[in-house]
């Protein structure tokens, strides 16, 4: 199983059951504890034209409430331009240390000379999460350099980002990477995606994510990180559009109370997109499902409240003690 899929399954298992007695995020938002709140989030925005165009259209006209842009990729400037033209868009930065596609390639924003351990012998970012960990070793400073370069470039191009998250989960599945990113989140005044979990699930997760324990969750909460109550990274696409639509309806029907995050990978099918990713048809299906007016009608009928990262940032992150410059030493 690919490391990224393993990460998604682990995080989904850790938080998807969402059996919380209390949601601090809902409380901070001033919402009743029985509220089913949902961030419908587009990953990989700006990865290529199809991903850029599909994500922006789904955010402007569909049921996608948030997204995050990949700064090393060629269409990131177009994504940021769209955000400047439509400041209501909720866009974060999809911090990226990997390049998983075989023929569509990109390198680090900081430059290979500054972050040599983040690139392979061809000068591109490593294709897999474990490749990155093996190469970087203890050189976490190079990870920090690249993360900062991606944030700096986004700001230079004019993006007012609402959060940061991680492509393929690279910044979560390693304790040193995770802690460095949390500290950079405080330095750059951008919330990093973090998760609330139950004591029961925590005890079961120790062998998989031993560093992400109850004490860490409390520490993140104490310094102002918004904590998601539910997370779903699995794609529910079907063999047909109708099957895929019903799969998402089934998932959303069972959505639990709390602040939930549903990750999508959107794109508009084209000949070029087919050559970028072998998942082009599935990404096109997600784009069509979440721009379908029937999905918006369903969410309204189910009383699922769409939420943005901006709302979480304003309700929780922006009210933290900004004199705290680090969460981890």
pLDDT in tens, 251-281: 999 999 999 999 999 999 999 999 999 999 9
Q: What is the pLDDT of residue 206?
A: 67
- Which H helix or E strand runs over 276? helix 271-276
Count Cα atoms within 13 angstroms, Cβ side, for 38.
Answer: 24
Q: Return the SS3 of 111.
A: coil
In whole angstroms, give the CA distance from residue 293 to residue 11: 30
CA-closest candidate to residue 311, choices 212, 232, 228: 228
16 confidence band (pLDDT: 50, 70, 90): low
Percent above pLDDT 90 for the chain: 88
Which pairing describes strands 36-45 and 66-69: parallel, antiparallel, or unpaired?
parallel
For the chain, report the end-to-end CA distance as a whole number of angstroms.
Answer: 33
210 confidence band (pLDDT: 50, 70, 90): confident
The domain segmentation of the chain, as residue ranges, is 3-319
The pLDDT of residue 202 is above 90 = no
- Among left, alpha and beta (phi > 0; psi -120 to 50; other), residue 269 is beta
- When pLDDT is averaged across residues 83-110 and rounded to a whole number, the result is 97
- Angle CA 74–306–178, to nearest 5: 55
Q: 3.10.20.340, 3.30.420.10, 3.50.30.10, 3.20.20.370: which CATH number matches 3-319?
A: 3.20.20.370
Whether the CB-CB separation of 207 and 175 falls below 8 Å is answered with no
- β-partners of residue 43 are 265
Whether the CB-CB separation of 181 and 192 falls below 8 Å is answered with yes
- β-partners of residue 265 are 43
Asked whether the CA dihedral 298, 301, 303, 306 is positive or negative, the reply is positive
Percent above pLDDT 70 for the chain: 90
10 confidence band (pLDDT: 50, 70, 90): low
Q: What is the pLDDT of residue 197?
A: 82
- When pLDDT is averaged across residues 43-53 and rounded to a whole number, the result is 98
209 confidence band (pLDDT: 50, 70, 90): confident
């Amino acid at each position: 199983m690919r490391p990224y899929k393993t990460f998604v399954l682990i995080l989904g298992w850790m938080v998807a059951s969402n059996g919380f007695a209390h949601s601090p995020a809902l409380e901070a938002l001033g919402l009743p504890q029985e509220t089913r709140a949902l961030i419908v989030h587009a990953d990989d925005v700006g990865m290529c034209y199809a991903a850029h165009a599909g994500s922006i259209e789904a955010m402007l006209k569909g049921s996608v409430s948030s997204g995050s842009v990949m700064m090393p990729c060629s269409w990131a400037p177009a994504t940021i331009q769209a955000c400047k033209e439509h400041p209501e868009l909720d866009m974060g930065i999809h911090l990226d240390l990997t390049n998983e596609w075989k023929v569509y390639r990109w390198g680090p924003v900081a430059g290979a000379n500054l972050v040599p351990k983040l690139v392979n012998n061809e000068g591109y970012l490593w294709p897999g999460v474990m490749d990155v960990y093996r190469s970087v070793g203890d050189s976490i400073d190079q990870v920090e350099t690249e993360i900062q370069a991606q944030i700096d470039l986004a700001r230079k191009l004019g993006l007012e980002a609402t959060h940061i998250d991680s492509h393929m989960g690279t910044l979560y599945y390693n304790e040193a990477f995770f802690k460095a990113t949390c500290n950079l989140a405080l330095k750059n005044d951008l919330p990093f995606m973090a998760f609330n979990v139950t004591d029961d699930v925590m005890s079961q997760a120790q062998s998989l994510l031993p560093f992400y324990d109850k004490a860490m969750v409390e520490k993140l909460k104490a310094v102002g990180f918004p904590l998601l109550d539910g997370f779903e990274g699995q794609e529910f696409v079907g063999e047909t559009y109708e099957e895929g639509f019903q799969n998402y309806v089934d998932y959303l029907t069972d959505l639990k109370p709390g602040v939930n995050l549903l990750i999508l990978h959107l794109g508009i099918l084209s000949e070029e997109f087919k050559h970028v990713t072998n998942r082009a048809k599935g990404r096109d299906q997600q784009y069509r499902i979440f721009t379908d007016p029937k999905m918006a009608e369903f969410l309204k009928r189910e009383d699922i409240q769409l939420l943005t990262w901006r709302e979480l940032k304003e309700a929780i992150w922006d009210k933290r003690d900004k004199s705290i410059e680090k969460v981890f030493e």
